[in-house]
Structure 1
Amino acid sequence: MQWTNSSEHTVYENPWFRVNLADVVLPDGRHLDHYLIRLRAVAVATAVNEANEVLMLWRHRFITDSWGWELAAGVVEDGEETAAAAAREMEEETGWRPGPLRHLLTVEPSNGLSDARHHLYWTDEATRVGHPQDDFESSRREWVPLKLVPDMIARGEVPAANMAAGLLMLHHMRLG
């Protein structure tokens, strides 16, 4: 059954997102007012070294008041390619410059509420270039054994669904 967005208008906007109200037509012909959030694409990147360790960040998210492991991520700027944004974010947040990035997967973390798409990339080559420019984004950056990832996710140590999906895919590809 397909819902149809017959029209929508913006009710709030800022540089990071828009909140829109859509007039949605249900399959039986009824109309439904549905709020949705329009977001820029997000690019995510990490590296896996020869020891099958993955580069991760330990950070606090004030919105949920929770700590967890994540990968470097950020908004894709206007006109920027997603892979270039992923590389930029990885270097800014970790101090490691990625080698050639490979697309891992694209996920829609909240497609019942927003149009957000997160594009995840990885590399098996990274060069340490110094202290992270955006060191305020995480408390620490570590190379974590990939074999530990499934148990970390099961314990809730990787709370973000996009990060968990990417890490499980990497685990499967490298160790599965």
Structure 2
Amino acid sequence: MRWQVHSEEPLYTDPWIDVRVADVELPDGRHLDHRLIRTAPGAGAVVTDERDRVLLIWRHRFITDTWGWEIPIGKIEEGEEPVAAAAREVEEETGWRPGPLRPLIYAQPSSGLSDSEHHIFRADTARHIGPPTEPWEAERVEWVPLADVRRLIDGRDLVCGTSMNALLYVLTEAGARK
């Protein structure tokens, strides 16, 4: 049962976000004004090491006024390939340069409200190149044991949907290899 979109009008637009209202027809013929958010795509990475640790950032999110662990992720710049954006974001936010990146997951974290899409990659190594170039992104940068991910989720220290999806996916990969 597909909803039909008859029109879409901007409510607020700036370089970061485009809030819109769409005239949507439901399968039963009713119409409703549905709000939606259009954003640039994002890219990030799960970077692990030989000791089964994952590179995470501890940061504050002012919108929810909460602290939590996240993988490095950010906006894909105009003309930039997702894999290049993921590598850049890891470096900027952590000070570590990831080894070869390979696709891990593609996510639409809030498809009922936004067209946001996240391209997440995986690296098995990283090399420290210096302090983060965007130190305002995180309070701390740490290598956290992958085995702690479930505890972090249960304790609400890891609540970011994309980070959670990617890390749980990595854990299922590890479990499948055993």
TM-score of the pair, normalised by structure 2: 0.96
2:93–2:135 Cα contact (<8 Å) kept: yes
Unaligned runs of 5+ in 1: none
Matches of 1:175 and 1:26 in 2, distance apart?
Answer: 42
Match for residue 42 of structure 2?
A: 42
Structure 1 residues 114 and 67, CA gap change in structure 2 (3 angstroms): same
Q: Say whether 1:127 aligns with 2:127.
A: yes
**Residue of structure 2 equivalent to 1:161:** 161
CA deviation string 1:75-106 (max 9, x = no partner): 00111111110000000000001111111111
Give me the whole-angstrom Cα distance separating, in 1, the residues matched to 2:144 and 2:167.
11
Partner of 1:171: 171
CA–CA distance in structure 1, aligned partners of residues 8 and 133 of structure 2 = 39
What is the rounded CA distance, in whole Å, between the counterparts of 2:58 and 2:159 in structure 1?
11
Q: Is the 8 A contact 2:46 2:167 kept in 1?
A: no
1:66 has 2:66 as partner: yes
Matches of 1:29 and 1:145, distance apart in 2: 52
Q: Match of 2:165, SS?
A: helix
Kept after mapping to 2: 8 A contact 1:147/1:175: no
Moved over 4 A (4+): none
Query: Which aligned pairs between 1:81-120 and structure 2 lie closer than 5 A?
Result: 81-120=81-120
> Residue 49 of structure 2: SS of its match in structure 1?
coil
Q: Percent identity?
A: 49
Structure 2, unaligned stretches of length 5 or more? none
CA contact (8 A) 1:20 1:35 kept: yes
CA RMSD of aligned residues (A): 1.0
Report the CA distance between 1:175 and its aligned residue: 4.2
Residue of structure 1 equivalent to 2:141: 141
Secondary structure at the aligned position of 1:24 is classed as strand
Instruction: Provide TM-score, normalisation by structure 1.
Output: 0.97
The CA deviation at 1:57 is 0.5
C-alpha distance in 2 between matches for 1:102 and 1:55: 16
Q: Say which SS state the counterpart of residue 49 (structure 1) adopts.
A: coil
Tell me, yes or no, if the aligned pair for 1:5 and 1:25 is still in contact at 8 Å.
yes
Partner Cα distance (1:39, 1:152) in 2: 29
Mapped partners of 1:106, 1:154: distance in 2: 24
Structure 2 residue matching 1:46: 3-state secondary structure: strand
Q: How many residues align?
A: 176
Q: Which residue of 1 aligns with 2:9?
A: 9
Q: AA paired with 2:133?
A: Q
